[in-house]
Amino acid sequence: MDIAEVMQRMGGVATHGQLKAAVGRRRLDDALQAARIHRVARGRYVLPTAEAARVAAHRLTAVAGLRSAAASYEWSLKWQPTVPELIVPRGRKVPEDARSSARIRWQRLAPGDVDGWRTTPLRTVLDCATTLPFDEALAVADSALRSGLVTSAELMRAANALPGRGRDAAFDVAWFASERPANAFESVIRAISTEVPGLRLDPQRRIRVAGRRIRPDLVDPELRIVVEGDSHEFHTSPSVIDGDCWRYDELVLDGWLVIRVSWPQAMFKSAWVQSVLARAALRQDGLHGTDYVRIRGCGRRPTTIGRTGPRP
């Protein structure tokens, strides 16, 4: 697999160990030399998305925003932007050639919304939440919390304070955002699951199986469902395969229903993944006689902050 595709599946960020296991040391070194990936810290690599946005923002006297700003903070994204995503003041005329080489958004930014050549972390999350599809926006918000540049409390407050139609979308994202998903892949699966009545998938929750404590990607402890995001390119060594087999077998024998979702399925077949998760929830509900599916209702949160209901 091409190294850029491997990086895309990792959300645009990866460690040296992950890339070496996926493509080998020689292809990793070749990609670095060709500037197809950038090393931003010891053992940490990103796609050149952010650098392209920085150059474009400087050329147009604009501010990088949305996914370009998110990439600059080294956040894991569902999709990397194909062209720099830039913000210019309302009323500014942008040359036609610049419009063809960048995605331009006309928006009024307060001085506190700008950090150098890009929007601030909080402004970036809010803009993504009100502009991108829910699964993409949730991946950005999860990454922001994981980075520590945004807190859950400030994101909830800022989303709730937004005016107009964007408020509900932003608050949806803020309600579900969590620092625990490992990458955008897991965030996308969790976003799909929010449309399944009765299902509450908790990311990276520790459970005990066969005397060991393990931490699957996503867990619903009441329905005893485990959902694993399978990236085959990172599960090729004998020791990893042995570990995966042990984990799967012990979970099944302990009464857990294990659902495995591949990266292409999560990204391109979300309706089918949602159908699988819905059938899994109904199956487990019937087996255990919990009636959780009926009691819990749909996975999405209340639309106002004053309504009751536990966060995932």
Region for residue 13 given its phi and psi (left: phi exceeds 0; alpha: psi -120 to 50; beta: otherwise): beta
- Checking if the pLDDT of 245 tops 70, the result is yes
Of residues 312 and 165, which shows the higher confidence score? 165
The end-to-end CA distance of the chain, in Å, is 35
Lowest-pLDDT range of 112-121, 179-188, 242-251: 242-251
Of residues 249 and 312, which shows the higher confidence score? 249
Using pLDDT thresholds of 50, 70 and 90, give the confidence band for residue 307: very low
What pLDDT does residue 191 have? 97
> Which residues sit opposite 46 in a β-bridge?
13, 38
What pLDDT does residue 241 have? 83
State mean pLDDT over 205-209. 94
Q: What is the mean pLDDT of the chain?
A: 89
> Which residues sit opposite 63 in a β-bridge?
87
Return the closest-CA partner of residue 220 out of 293, 274, 149. Answer: 293
Query: How many residues are recorded in the chain?
Result: 312
State mean pLDDT over 253-282. 96
Q: What is the DSSP string of 73-96?
A: TT---SS--SS-EEEE-TT----H
- Checking if the pLDDT of 263 tops 90, the result is yes
Residue with token string 């807190």: 151
pLDDT in tens, 14-61: 889 888 888 889 999 998 889 888 898 888 899 999 999 999 999 999
pLDDT in tens, 120-166: 999 999 999 999 999 999 999 999 999 999 999 999 999 999 988 89
What pLDDT does residue 297 have? 56
What pLDDT does residue 290 have? 60
Q: Which helix (H) or strand (E) holds 21?
A: helix 16-23
Return the closest-CA partner of residue 70 out of 171, 153, 146. Answer: 146
pTM assigned to the model:
0.87
What pLDDT does residue 163 have? 87
> What domains appear along the chain, each with residue ranges and CATH number?
1-47 (no CATH), 48-176 (no CATH), 184-296 (3.40.960.10)
Which residues, 6+ apart, have CB-to-CB distance to 209 below 8 Å? 247, 250, 251, 254, 256
CB 70 within 8 Å of CB 128: yes
The radius of gyration computed from the CA coordinates of the chain, to the nearest angstrom, equals 21
Helices (H), 38-183: 49-60, 66-72, 96-101, 121-131, 134-147, 152-160, 166-176
